[in-house]
A and B are shown apart, each in its own frame.
Chain A
């Protein structure tokens, strides 16, 4: 399988990268780890005339804690950088927990956080846990920069609100009251398989009462989806197994799954119901896992 011809740039600064993307417009595509872009090019779904690589932008590779801001994950951090991050293991082990469920080792050594977000498939495994933890993204473009809630980045399957010259530079997990979080995924194989359905939950529990909850579902709608009715239903209530099961039912009603070759919509709804219940329970009992 050969790739079509294209021109290649690997700029040394974000400004230069945005400039190139803006100059070549629709002809250009940004490449990070390449695990989605190159597959699409081989499958003839994409034929950019120019690839702009962000591989030299060292500042996008960091994972660090910035007081007053939160945990900052550079968009070029690879999945295995998350898996083996000591900082994340200490603060939000649920993020490496989700990263570990992705693809397989080789892809995790190449694929990046930014690529997983901007590729914007509904089954992407990182957005749910990041959205559950109220992540925001910082975006830099040729004309300036902006910050946005991660959940507002997605506009549909394979589409985001990013302009062609915009680059996600970092994902920020703000300091928060959530006491636990986790992501559960079902794929047709333990490794190298996309989610048939997945649920991330983050909870703030105090004295047996659910003070706040965020539930995000993957692969059951056009974008990663919050189960807002289930979240509202949980708030302020005393935690019981029945309560969590009921939240699961509500989430299953809210999701918008499709039938495809991997599973029926009905089966996906069932997964959402069970995973919502289980992920809430796990986050309540075990914290960020």
Chain B
């Protein structure tokens, strides 16, 4: 269990350490701090979005041990000991990840609010299934709602990122 510090008013803070985008991070969190708020407010990782905040929309998707989870339903204190990737962790200094490139090439976002989560779901899919079918792509992003694109170009971009021939 994480170390606990109690202040004069009796409020408890919990020491957590986790890895995020390859960086070790240690911090003090209150029990009721949500992971999505912690990374946005404390770590300035604002690429992760808040939408419904109830697990429905996927805009807060982060990869935890490589698997997509909703950061709005994760307590920061429960992040202790885990390893995370957020959208900021995909690109290197001057090179975007291939999935990001293909999202641009195929016009797979309009307002872009869903894109970080969508791209991370795609990334997790391609890591475990390098040549997915269209159905598998749609299944993998079914927890990522998009209000703009109608998904067609998103699916194309992900298939293209897997190296498969896709109509533009």
Contact = CB atoms under 8 A, between A and B. Distances in A.
A27 to B, nearest CB: 14
Interface residues on chain B, size class: 20 to 34
A102 B58 CA distance: 15
B116 interface: no
**Most central of B54, B58, B67, B78 by chain A CB within 10 Å:** B78
A10 B2 contact: yes
Interface string A102-116: 011111011000000
B157 to A, nearest CB: 18
B97 interface: no
Contacts of B74: 34, 110
B68 A109 contact: yes
Contacts of A7: 12, 31
Interface in A36-53: 38-39, 42-43, 51, 53
A56 interface: yes
A106 B68 CA distance: 5
Interface in B69-99: 69-70, 72-75, 77-78
A35 B1 contact: no
B77 to A, nearest CB: 5
B34 A3 contact: yes
Contacts of B56: 192
B142 A110 contact: no
Nearest to A8: B31
A110 B32 contact: no
A39 B70 CA distance: 12
B68 A34 contact: no
Given A1-B53, A10-B1, A38 B143 contact: no
Contact of B1 (A6, A12, A103): A12
Contacts of B106: none
Contacts of A109: 64, 67-69
A176 to B, nearest CB: 31
A161 interface: no
A80 interface: yes
B134 interface: no
A262 interface: no
Contacts of A51: 31, 75
B139 A5 contact: no
A106 B58 contact: yes
B28 to A, nearest CB: 13
B55 A107 contact: yes
B100 interface: no
B140 interface: yes
A56 B82 CA distance: 12
Contacts of B37: 2
A11 B32 contact: no
Interface in B113-142: 121, 124, 139-140, 142
Contact of A39 (B31, B54, B121, B142): B54
Interface string B1-34: 1100000000010100000000000000011101
A39 B74 CA distance: 11
B143 A110 contact: no
Interface of B: 1-2, 12, 14, 30-32, 34, 37, 53-56, 58, 61, 64, 67-70, 72-75, 77-78, 121, 124, 139-140, 142-143
Given A10-B2, A38-B73, 13 more contacts: A1-B53, A3-B32, A34-B75, A39-B73, A51-B75, A55-B78, A56-B1, A105-B68, A105-B139, A106-B69, A106-B70, A110-B69, A191-B143
8 contacts: A1-B53, A4-B32, A7-B12, A10-B77, A43-B54, A105-B121, A105-B140, A192-B142
